[in-house]
Structure 1
């Protein structure tokens, strides 16, 4: 149980600032990880971080469509 809490805390810390995350690492893992479930996880993490970055940019005051 304690190990799971540590893993959740690491994930939350990792995703706290989407600009500090290495998207290339997620992308590489989603393409080349031998475990299909882990590939899905890394793909979801890549999509999540990309979406958060996009939302941050769109919400900037000077952003205009």
Structure 2
């Protein structure tokens, strides 16, 4: 699988990606532009998962 194909797969379904994997790629990918994309995806997925958690009945802060 090429890097381009892998990036396309990640962009198609970012919610299904492993947060740890996105976080590590945002830190260690050799391409600085890709690191920015991975960081944005990590932040997006984390935000979506937090929203789902907060919507659960009985969840109190």
What residue ranges of structure 2 are gaps of 5+ in the alignment? Answer: 1-7
Q: Which TM-score applies when normalising by structure 2?
A: 0.76
**CA deviation after TM superposition for structure 1 residue 62, in Å:** 1.3
What CA deviation, in whole Å up to 9, does each residue of 1:22-63 have, x standing for no partner? 011111110011111100000000000000000000011111
What residue ranges of structure 1 are gaps of 5+ in the alignment? Answer: 1-6
| Equivalent residues, number | 53
Q: Which TM-score applies when normalising by structure 1?
A: 0.72
Structure 1 runs (4+) greater than 2 angstroms displaced? none
Determine which structure has more spread, i.e. the larger CA radius of gyration: 1
User: What is the CA RMSD across the aligned residues, in angstroms?
Assistant: 1.3
Matched, 1:38 2:34: yes
